Amino acid sequence: MLSEPFAVGDSPLHRLDPRIRLVSATVYSCVVALCREFPALLSALALSMALVALARLRTAEVFKRLLVVNGLVVCIWAVIPFTFPGEALFRLGPFGAAREGVELAAQITLKSNAIVLAFMALVATMPLATVGHALHHLRVPDKIVHLFLMTYRYIFVLEQEYQRLVRAASIRGFQPGTNFHTYRTYAYLVGMLFVRAVERAERVQWAMRCRGFKRKFYSLHEFNAGAGSFVFLLLISAAVAGIAALELRLAAW
Amino acid sequence: MRHPNLLIEISREDPHNYAMTTATPIIDLKGVTFGYPGGPPVLRDLDFTLCAGERIGVIAPNGSGKTTLFHLIMGLVKPLAGQISIFGKALREEKEFSEVRRRIGLLFQDPDDQLFSPTVLEDVAFGPLNLGKTKAEAAAIARQTLAALGLNGFEDRITFKLSGGEKRLVSLATVLAMEPEVLLLDEPENGLDIRTRAKLSEILGKLDIAYILISHELDFLTNVTDLIYTMEDGRIRRDEELHVHQHLHAHPLGSRPHRHS
C-beta atoms of A220 and B135 within 8 A: yes
- Where do the domains of chain B lie? 1-103+181-238, 112-179
Collect all residues of chain B within an 8 Å Cβ-Cβ radius of residue A197: none
List the pLDDT tens digit at each of the 253 positions of chain A: 567 888 888 899 999 999 999 999 999 999 999 999 999 999 999 999 999 999 999 999 999 999 999 999 999 999 988 888 877 787 777 777 888 889 999 999 999 999 999 999 999 999 888 999 999 999 999 999 989 999 988 888 888 889 998 998 888 888 888 999 999 999 999 999 999 999 999 999 999 999 988 888 888 888 888 899 999 999 999 999 999 999 998 888 7
pLDDT band for position B255 (cuts 50, 70, 90): low
Q: Virtual CA dihedral for A203, A209, A210, A214, nearest 10 degrees?
A: 160
> In this structure, are strands B227-232 and B235-237 parallel, antiparallel, or unpaired?
antiparallel
Task: Compute, in degrees rounded to 10, the torsion defined by CA atoms A32, A38, A42, A48.
Answer: 10
In terms of CA atoms, which chain B residue is nearest residue A222?
B135
Spatial contact of B107 and B171, defined as CB atoms under 8 Å apart = yes
The CA distance from A74 to the nearest CA of chain B, in Å, is 36
The pTM assigned to this predicted structure is 0.78
| CB contact at 8 A, B94 and B100 | no
CA–CA dist B222, A39 (Å, integer)? 77
Which chain B residues are Cβ-neighbours of A210 within 8 angstroms? 74, 76, 101, 104-106
The mean pLDDT value for B190-218 works out to 91
Q: What pLDDT does B10 receive?
A: 38
Structure ipTM over 0.90, yes or no: no
Pairing label, strands B89-91, B81-86: antiparallel
DSSP bridge pairs for B119: B158
Measured between beta carbons, which residues in chain A are less than 8 angstroms from residue B116? 150, 153-154, 204, 207-208
Domain ranges of chain A: 12-126+223-252, 134-210
Residue A2, φ and ψ in degrees, nearest 5: -75, 120
Q: Which residues pair with B32 in a beta bridge?
A: B46
CA distance B75 to chain A (A): 9
Distance from CA of A227 to the nearest CA of B (A): 25
8 Å CB contact between B30 and B21: no
Residues on B contacting A at a C-beta cutoff of 8 Å = 71, 74, 76, 98, 101-102, 104-106, 108, 110, 112-114, 116-119, 121-122, 125-127, 129-131, 135, 138-139, 158-160, 174-175, 178
Closest residue in chain A to residue B73, using alpha carbons only: A210
Name the residue facing B108 among A149, A207, A213 (closest C-beta): A207
Residue in chain A lying closest to B107 (CA): A207
CATH number of B1-103+181-238: 3.40.50.300
Do A218 and B158 lie within an 8 Å CB cutoff? no
Nearest to B58 by CA among B244, B246, B227, B234: B227
Long-range contacts of B87-94 (CB under 8 A, 24+ apart): B87/B26, B87/B181, B88/B24, B88/B25
Amino acid at B70: F
Report whether pLDDT(B137) > 80.
yes
Which has the closest alpha carbon to A199: A152, A144, A158?
A: A158
pLDDT category at B61 given cuts 50, 70, 90 is confident
